[in-house]
Amino acid sequence: MSVRPQVDPCHVLVIDDEAPVRHLVTTILRRAGHEVVAAASGEDGLAALDASYDVVVTDLVMPGVGGLEVMRRARERFPEVGVVLMTGAGNPAQLEKARAAGAVVVEKPFAHATIVDAVAALLGGS
C-alpha cells in the first residue's frame, strides 16, 4: 500500500543519525511523491541545505548539531523552510520550544501516515 501526498510533492531534506530511521522516513516520503535527500548528521544536513528545500525533517537528539540547532540555522538562512522534528527522547521544554518556533513535532515511534501528514501540515495541506 502506498502513501499518497495530501499536497503537491515538495523537496524534503531528512536528517537522522540512525540509518534505519533515516531510510524509513526517506522511503515513506518518496512513496508519497516527494523528492527527498537524506543526511546522516546535523552538520551534513546543514551543508546540503539550500533554497530548493521546502521542508526539513530532522531528529531532535543527535550527536554534534541536534535538531533544535538545525532548525535555528536553517531558518536563519531560509526563513520559510518548514521543520518537522522527530523525537523519541525530547524533554517537554525542548518540545514546547520547537512547537513555539513553528515546528511540527512527531514522536517516535510513528505511523507512516504521521510523517506524511506532518509535511503536509507545513505546506498548508490537511
Global model pTM greater than 0.85: yes
CATH number of the domain at 72, please: 3.40.50.2300
Residue 1 in domain? no
The domain total for the chain is 1
Residue 30 in domain? yes
- At residue 2, the pLDDT reads 46
DSSP codes, 21-83: HHHHHHHHHHHTT-EEEEESSHHHHHHH--TT-SEEEEESS-SSS-HHHHHHHHHHH-TT-EE
User: Residues 16-62: pLDDT tens digits?
Assistant: 999 999 999 999 999 999 999 999 999 999 999 999 999 999 999 99
Residue 112 in domain? yes
- At residue 94, the pLDDT reads 84
Residue 4 in domain? no
Residue 107 in domain? yes
Residue 88 in domain? yes
Mean pLDDT check: name the lowest of 3-7, 111-115, 118-122. 3-7
Domain range enclosing 45: 11-122
Q: Report, as an integer, the average pLDDT of 111-124.
A: 94
